[in-house]
Amino acid sequence: TWTKNNVYLLQGTVFVDSLVTLTIEAGTVVRGDANTVISALVIQRGAKIIANGTECNPIVFTSSKAAGSRVKGDWGGLIIEGRALNNLGTEVPIEGIGATNPRARHGGSIPNDNSGSLTYSRIEYAGFVIAPNNEMNGLTMGSVGSNTTIHHIQVSFGLDDAYEWFGGSVNCTH
């Protein structure tokens, strides 16, 4: 559990392993280290994120730089990998991490897979271009299932796409 009375620094790519649930309290600030190579938070298949901010107390994912010094692409972003269907198979590499990393896979045959809940959260200054058609986005979702809750997410000041879906059946709103 990450609590709002701490600020968390992602140094490099941080993976939440399968069968683990990462809970982030409303009002928590998570910073991607702008001084390391591609800081990102990756929720692996079978893992869950429970990050439910509120309208007045959102969860903020941002750059480690001071306000006024932050720029697009300071860190990678948030990636959620699920076990729902897509049109490429069950062992699909997620964009932005690399085809050789076995922890960076999405896909399956469970349309109602549950990767947790992400609500009232702000993702800013994220995005990273590794190569053409191989980028991290503010929020990247690969094969995320319909029992996952995602709503009221703001992605701003990103280097690449705000949101990108690779298959899945999640119903995001707001």
**The tokens 């932050």 sit on which residue?**
70
For residue range 117-130, what is the model confidence (pLDDT) as tens digits?
999 999 999 998 88
3-state secondary structure of 11: coil
Beta-ladder partners of 122: 60, 154
DSSP code for 75:
B
Distance in angstroms (rounded) separating the CA atoms of residues 40 and 136: 9
pTM over 0.85: yes
At 79-119, the pLDDT tens digits run: 999 999 999 999 999 988 878 899 999 999 999 999 999 99
